[in-house]
């Protein structure tokens, strides 16, 4: 039986009753932040539902987690509380439940038109780690910069490679990104170039949002790692390829990456993605025991990248990929992150790394799509090797169910010139 809500939900909406992703919002600019779930073209204000005493199950009744400026305290409660909240909200919004449906006063307070709200970062991000888990992306980068001899280094097949990113520059979808300045490699005997990046790029990613976390010195077992992941968001981990290329040896990304990372405002819980779980790619050689999962799973999430060129009203698809292409799973990423005793905390983000598919039109960055500028794209009659000022990048992601869609909305950002 297909679940239906008394709230009208368009068949192509990303936010049916089967989804109910969580976010933080303001009904207007003067109000305080409060938690909500998306349902059709509305946001259900969970703080109103909680104040009405409707979230009274054993894991939530004594908690003030929905009276907070972010979702961190709710994430800390763990999967039993998440399941309880989802089941309660799903029941309240169903077409057969009268509690909210037939209470006009409560309904008016609790359901806010999405077009009127201001979306905020859903969590306070204490730490952010960016992985490098797509074999197609790793191979493409290796071919470009190291040649065909050994495009992927042997260690990549034994552990999920990652680096620590900058949490303070993570922004919510719709936030403009100022073109960063930095150095680029010198030409001949000249000093290094210094100025605005000339190779601004997007990176098609998703990020796992950490739930309960773990204590310092106590690793998380790979087969229990999913209980430490609340859900997924879309991510654009912007990259200044020229700055990054000059600075990255020997330590890795710094100014080429830490100027901005955009995430979608809605976190889709893993429980909502469960119907779309699929087998992960076969790993060869088999991973070490601490990374060996009893059931190695990805999720079948279709991903698209649109670019709206500066001065244009329409956007154009430049890439179609899928989360299922990731070689290292999110459970393996989290288990590896903690195997040395590192402690994760609620709200931490684990970026997947660029998600590139096997075909040229499924590559997850302009670096790959234009092969480092050698094969320019044509978008709306204009050529692009990398992003120009005024270009907007819009990422979307969704899963197709039987008569419904579970989606993430969009993750967008526009490049602005560095101030003169």
Residue 113 C-beta-side C-alpha neighbours within 13 Å? 2
Task: Answer yes or no: 137 catalytic.
Answer: yes
Cβ atoms < 10 Å from Cβ of 35: 26
Distance CA 148, CA 194 (A): 32
CB 305 within 8 Å of CB 317: yes
User: 183, 220, 219: which is closest to 198 by C-alpha?
Assistant: 183
CB 317 within 8 Å of CB 40: no
Sign of CA dihedral 217, 221, 226, 231: positive
Catalytic residue among 14, 86, 137, 336: 137
Active-site residues: which are they? 137
């Amino acid at each position: 039986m297909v679940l239906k809500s008394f709230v009208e939900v368009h068949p192509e909406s990303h936010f049916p009753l089967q989804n109910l992703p969580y976010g933080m919002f303001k009904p207007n600019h003067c109000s305080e932040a409060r938690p909500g779930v998306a349902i059709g073209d509305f946001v259900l204000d969970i703080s109103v539902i909680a104040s009405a005493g409707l979230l009274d199950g054993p894991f939530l009744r004594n908690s003030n987690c929905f009276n907070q400026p972010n979702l961190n305290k709710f994430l800390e409660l763990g999967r039993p509380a998440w399941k309880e909240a989802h089941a309660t909200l799903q029941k309240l919004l169903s077409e057969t439940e009268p509690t909210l449906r037939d209470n006009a006063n409560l309904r008016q307070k609790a359901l806010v038109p999405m077009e009127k709200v201001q979306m905020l970062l859903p969590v306070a991000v204490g730490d952010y780690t960016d992985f490098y888990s797509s074999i197609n992306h790793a191979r493409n980068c290796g071919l470009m910069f190291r040649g065909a001899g050994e495009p992927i280094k042997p260690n990549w097949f034994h552990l999920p490679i990652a680096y620590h990113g900058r949490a303070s520059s993570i922004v919510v979808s719709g936030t403009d990104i100022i073109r960063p300045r930095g150095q680029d490699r010198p030409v001949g005997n000249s000093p290094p170039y210094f100025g605005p990046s000339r190779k601004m790029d997007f990176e098609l990613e998703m990020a796992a949002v950490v739930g309960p976390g773990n204590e310092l010195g106590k690793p998380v077992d790979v087969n229990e790692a999913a209980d430490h992941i609340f859900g997924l968001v879309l991510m654009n981990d912007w990259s200044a390829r020229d700055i990054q290329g000059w600075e990255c040896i020997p330590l890795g990304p710094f100014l080429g990456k830490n100027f901005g990372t955009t995430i979608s405002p809605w976190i889709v819980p893993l429980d909502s993605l469960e119907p779309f779980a699929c087998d992960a790619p076969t790993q060869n050689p088999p991973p070490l025991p601490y990374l060996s999962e009893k059931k190695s799973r990805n999720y079948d999430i279709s991903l698209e990248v649109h670019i709206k060129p500066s001065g244009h009203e329409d956007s154009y698809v430049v890439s179609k990929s899928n989360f299922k292409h990731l070689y290292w799973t999110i459970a393996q990423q989290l288990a590896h992150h903690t195997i040395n005793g590192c402690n994760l905390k609620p709200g931490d983000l684990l970026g997947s790394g660029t998600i590139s598919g096997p075909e040229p039109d499924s590559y997850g960055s302009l670096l790959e799509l234009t092969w480092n500028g050698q094969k320019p794209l044509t978008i709306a009659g204009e050529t692009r090797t990398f992003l120009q000022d005024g270009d907007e990048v819009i990422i979307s992601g969704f899963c197709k169910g039987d008569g419904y869609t579970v989606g993430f909305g969009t993750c967008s950002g526009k490049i602005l010139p560095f101030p003169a």
